[in-house]
């Protein structure tokens, strides 16, 4: 039974290669946590076509996880001072790229949201390059990533780092056609239909631990 369940997940190296090349993956968290899956791509390589696919197929809320250093550099502050969210999702005030810096107009199109997210990952981006509020929802990952919190926010930023890219990603929850959240069996079906690698947060944690052990030998 375990072999059957394990076979629905891709090798993490395949997922990393897909992300490095500008592609998307599906990332599932623990069944004991949210038990949800997000489409993930990297901010540095995001395109309007990718955003259009994400919002058209996944149908969740498009967010942009980033490292604390990026958030601090850009002046992004938490949306609320005292969060009552059970999962403590680290939302900042929403944002759009500023027109002269990014070419973003109303902010809502796939082209505008891609431009906003891509600029978040730009090394020379500055606070005045962004307007608030907007149509992209930044999230601030914990400094130590998955060592501190098992969220899609931390996992996607850790994936960006593992790919050698800027620590900014784009994530969106996968919702089924009937309006309910997609669970693991649903995600496996979506991954097959969309041709995307499917991995879990636990796979990332194991991979990072193995790299740490190998580096210490």
Domain ranges of the chain: 18-216
Q: What is the largest CA-CA distance in the chain?
A: 56
Tens-place pLDDT, residues 32-77: 666 799 999 999 999 999 999 999 999 999 999 999 999 999 999 9
This prediction has a pTM of 0.93
**pLDDT above 70: percentage of residues in the chain:** 95
Task: Return the structure tokens found at 138.
Answer: 């930044």
Tens-place pLDDT, residues 120-166: 999 999 999 999 999 999 999 999 999 999 999 999 999 999 999 99
Residue 173: pLDDT above 90?
yes
Helix axis angle for 201-216 and 152-162, nearest 10°, is 40
Helix axis angle for 12-20 and 152-162, nearest 10°, is 70
Contacts of 208 (CB under 8 A, 6+ apart): 146, 158, 162
Residue 3: pLDDT above 70?
no
CA–CA dist 122, 39 (Å, integer): 22
Tens-place pLDDT, residues 65-87: 999 999 999 999 999 988 898 88
Fold of 18-216: DHBP synthase (3.90.870)
């Amino acid at each position: 039974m375990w072999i059957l369940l394990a076979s629905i997940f891709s090798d993490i190296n395949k997922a990393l290669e897909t992300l490095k090349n500008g592609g998307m993956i599906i990332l599932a968290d623990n069944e004991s946590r949210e038990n949800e899956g997000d489409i993930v791509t990297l901010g540095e390589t995001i395109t309007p076509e990718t955003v259009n696919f994400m919002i058209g197929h996944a149908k969740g809320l498009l967010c942009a996880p980033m490292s604390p250093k990026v958030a601090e550099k850009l002046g992004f502050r938490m949306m609320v001072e005292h969060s009552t969210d059970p999962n403590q999702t680290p939302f900042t005030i929403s944002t759009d790229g500023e027109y002269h810096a990014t070419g973003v107009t109303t902010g809502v199109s796939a082209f505008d949201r891609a431009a906003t997210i891509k600029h978040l990952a730009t090394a020379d981006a500055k606070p005045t390059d962004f307007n608030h509020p907007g149509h992209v929802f930044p999230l601030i990952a914990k400094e130590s990533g998955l060592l501190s919190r098992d969220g899609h926010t931390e996992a996607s930023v850790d994936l960006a780092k593992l790919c050698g890219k800027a620590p900014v990603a784009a994530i969106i929850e996968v919702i089924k056609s009937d309006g309910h959240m997609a669970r693991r069996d649903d995600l496996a079906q979506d991954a097959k239909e969309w041709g995307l690698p499917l991995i879990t947060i636990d796979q990332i944690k194991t991979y990072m631990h193995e790299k740490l052990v190998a580096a210490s030998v």
